[in-house]
Structure 1
Amino acid sequence: MIGDWIAESRVRVDQMRLLVLKTAWLMNAAGNKGAHTGIKAIKIATLRSVHWILDTAIQTRGAAGLSQDFPLACARVRSLRLADGPCELQRKALARAGLRTRTAATYRSAAAEPSQPLTTAARSHS
């Protein structure tokens, strides 16, 4: 079980690193506005992953994980939830941005398509 937690922690850290690298690349390529959704995703994913990793690290030590003998109990990571807005607000903003992008793409593709389907006669002449 602890081996599974270690593996899961490794995967989560790698996911966060890749997301940060991708967003940094977007910031260089498209600017901060172009990387806005990536920044929101980092805030959500990092908070969730850090809390999960911290909770499982405390849990591996049992009741001792909550004592002052280990620095895990004193970690101030939980206050990060309040620093940049609750996760719910971050997720809502990310969803809104995704829907806005999706809707704009749908309207662009609908405008590019002809409104009336071509008849077989018109297709053979083109």
Structure 2
Amino acid sequence: MFFRELPEPLFPFRFFQQFVEAVKIKESKQKTQAVKKLIQQMPKPNHETLKLLFSHLQRVLAFSRKNLMSTQGIGIVFGPTLMWPELDAGNMAVNMIYQNQIVEFILIESREIFNLDRK
């Protein structure tokens, strides 16, 4: 509820369309670099909160056999909670697909995006 009730989502409005475009990139390394660059451009509090959140979600995913939370499930739950467009021009279903894909992709690539294994 905390993330959903923010006046502006954790992924700031001005980044929404840029993330949609980044997740459409076909080549995985290019997509990872595009998403990583966007996250690095976010305000520091947003960036640090995302890093901490995705680190936690990695731990949740590590116990997916017990808690039944898959990457896709986490994307469905957190996509619309962490990001939404400032103005929804009737594309709610399409936006939701991208929201889920973006969160799933970041979760899958979070070690690279946030340098989680590096000290």
Q: TM-score, normalised by structure 1?
A: 0.27
Q: Which has the higher contact order (CA 8 A, sep 6+)?
A: 2
Q: Which has the larger radius of gyration?
A: 1
Higher share in helix = 1
